[in-house]
């Protein structure tokens, strides 16, 4: 069914070929939730202030899997969009195909190399060429909590896995959904990201997800990670299957659920609903990952249509990296700026915490690209991991079988 929907979306995208005017940019993205759309409007408004029109090409589906399928179809049919939201290794893969415009002139003029951290440049550049403009830094290892429920039940910030399980049990016993979750593969992988980091620590994460080391992938620790996923499965409600991530966030916002495990794009939903961190909701690092940050960075790659970067593409890329835009956008999106030279006093408490933690983690060797969001491995490996993680979450495999399946999936796809 998922394949059918994706195919239909791709066909629709092909047939609804947009007639972008010369002065427009056509932007393919997956920012379709309330909070995401609000953030995207900041970019649209910035460009319209410069007289550049916006041809919207939204492809719903958190994490961008469907968007990448549509992109492939568009490029194959010779109709690449002007600019595309992309993550990590997807950028590298398209750059390797020679499909992306060279942004070096712009990058040199604006000294991007001095202000964009190395962890982001790793994906924004390829073979000495800037090929994408980073919009933000998200991180995936967060817990979002409903403050009223925490107060009512006397739950303080869980510091360990056991404390977190106890807190979820308390919420469940009180009649709440303990864990708001949307049963989609990328959401389960997002949770797995944090659970794996907490259970195994940074070295385990590096070996398993970056180096794809077989001993680590097949270790008892990996079995423990799957066991913990099974524990979490016991705290979701009966209707979790297929639910979009933002609807899961809404359960926490509305006081139906105590917690959600999600990247900080969830904060964009709270803010869009008029909620305030510290008053209505709380942001914690996933227990056991207080020192680590698993990040992903949304970047816009420009497709090389006529050999050179068009004026509109250049305007879009410079708008994205301008200091004012970086603050204005990330305030709404829930992420933090992609530049390290900004005063972030305007960000809320969670944003300021996230910005400091990103820099601290980078300095102490605790910053890791999120495997769930394409920053540890190319899509083939990522998607193969998704399949195993989601099959286990849905009860198709026990933990020991899931470990074996993970090893095989990686062997086949790496
Ligand atoms: C992530 C992306 C975020 C957010 C999220 C849910 O992959 O980096 O910006 O959009 O998906 O859609």
Q: Is 62 in the pocket of ligand 1 (CB under 6 A)?
A: yes
**Average pLDDT, integer, range 382-394:** 98
- 273 CA from centroid of ligand 1 (Å): 18
- 212 CA from centroid of ligand 1 (Å): 24
**Average pLDDT, integer, range 151-159:** 98
Q: Is 304 in the pocket of ligand 1 (CB under 6 A)?
A: no
Does the pLDDT at position 272 exceed 60? yes
Domains annotated for the chain, with CATH where assigned, are: 2-136+300-341 (3.40.190.10), 139-295+363-413 (3.40.190.10)
pLDDT for 153 = 98
Does the pLDDT at position 1 exceed 90? no
Mean pLDDT of the residues in the chain: 94
Angle (nearest 5°) at CA 85 between 80 and 88: 110
| C-alpha span between 250 and 161 (Å, rounded) | 24
Is residue 399 within 8 Å of 223, Cβ to Cβ?
A: yes
Q: Is 267 in the pocket of ligand 1 (CB under 6 A)?
A: no
Q: Return the percentage of the chain with pLDDT > 70, whole number.
A: 94
pLDDT in tens, 205-225: 999 999 999 999 999 999 999
pLDDT for 5 = 45
pLDDT for 307 = 72
Q: Which atom of ligand 1 is nearest to the CA of 297?
A: 8
- 36 CA from centroid of ligand 1 (Å): 8
* Long-range contacts at 400-408 (CB < 8 A, ≥ 24 apart): 400/223, 402/226, 403/217, 403/218, 403/222, 403/223, 403/226, 404/218, 406/217, 406/218, 406/222, 407/214, 407/217, 407/218
**Average pLDDT, integer, range 238-251:** 98
pLDDT for 316 = 96
Strands 257-261, 83-87: pairing is unpaired
H or E segment to which residue 331 belongs: helix 323-333
Q: How far from each other are the two terminal CA atoms of the chain, in whole angstroms?
A: 26
| C-alpha span between 68 and 369 (Å, rounded) | 19
Is residue 27 within 8 Å of 83, Cβ to Cβ?
A: yes
pLDDT for 306 = 74
Gyration radius from the chain CA atoms:
21
**What is the residue with the minimal CA distance to atom 7 of ligand 1?**
63
pLDDT in tens, 33-69: 999 999 999 999 999 998 999 999 999 999 999 999 9
- 154 CA from centroid of ligand 1 (Å): 32
> pLDDT band at residue 308, thresholds of 50, 70 and 90?
confident
Lowest-confidence range among 13-22, 95-104, 173-182, 250-259? 13-22
Q: Is 134 in the pocket of ligand 1 (CB under 6 A)?
A: no
Q: Is 264 in the pocket of ligand 1 (CB under 6 A)?
A: no
Q: Which has the higher per-residue pLDDT, 134 or 21?
A: 134
- 64 CA from centroid of ligand 1 (Å): 7
């Amino acid at each position: 069914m998922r394949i059918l929907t994706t195919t239909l979306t791709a066909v629709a995208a092909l047939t609804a070929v947009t007639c972008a005017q010369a002065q427009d940019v056509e932007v393919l993205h997956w920012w379709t939730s309330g909070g995401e759309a609000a953030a995207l409007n900041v970019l649209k408004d910035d460009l319209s202030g410069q007289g550049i029109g916006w041809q919207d090409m939204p492809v719903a589906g958190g994490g961008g899997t469907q968007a990448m399928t549509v992109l492939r179809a568009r490029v194959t049919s010779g109709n690449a969009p002007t600019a595309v939201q992309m993550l990590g290794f997807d950028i590298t893969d398209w750059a390797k195909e020679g499909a992306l415009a060279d942004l070096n002139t712009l990058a040199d003029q604006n000294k991007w190399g001095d202000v964009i951290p190395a962890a982001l440049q790793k994906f924004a550049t390829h073979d000495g060429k800037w090929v994408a403009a980073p919009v933000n830094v998200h991180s995936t290892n967060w817990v979002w909590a409903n403050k009223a429920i925490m107060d009512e039940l006397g739950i303080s910030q869980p510091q360990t896995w056991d404390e977190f399980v106890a807190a979820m049990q308390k919420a469940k016993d009180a009649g709440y959904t303990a864990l708001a979750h949307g049963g989609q593969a990328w959401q389960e992988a997002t949770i797995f990201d944090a659970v794996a980091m907490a259970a195994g620590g940074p070295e385990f994460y590096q070996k398993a997800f970056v180096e794809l080391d077989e001993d680590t992938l097949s270790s008892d620790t990996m079995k423990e990670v799957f066991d913990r996923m099974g524990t979490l499965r016991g705290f979701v409600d009966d209707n979790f299957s297929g639910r979009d991530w933002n609807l899961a966030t809404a359960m926490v916002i509305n006081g139906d659920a105590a917690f959600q495990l999600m990247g900080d794009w969830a904060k964009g939903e709270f803010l869009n609903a008029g909620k305030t961190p510290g008053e209505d909701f709380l942001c914690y690092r996933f227990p056991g990952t207080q020192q680590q940050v698993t990040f992903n960075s949304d970047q816009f790659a420009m497709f090389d249509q006529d050999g050179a970067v068009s004026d509109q593409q250049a305007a879009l890329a410079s708008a994205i990296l301008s200091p004012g835009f970086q603050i204005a956008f990330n305030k709404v999106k829930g992420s933090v700026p992609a530049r390290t030279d900004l005063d972030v006093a305007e960000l809320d408490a969670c944003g300021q915490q996230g910005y400091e933690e990103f820099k601290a983690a980078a300095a102490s060797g605790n910053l890791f690209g999120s495997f769930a969001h394409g920053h540890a491995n190319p899509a083939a490996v990522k998607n193969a991991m998704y399949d195993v993680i989601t099959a286990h979450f849905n009860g198709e495999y026990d933990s020991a079988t899931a470990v074996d399946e993970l090893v095989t999936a990686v062997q086949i796809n790496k």
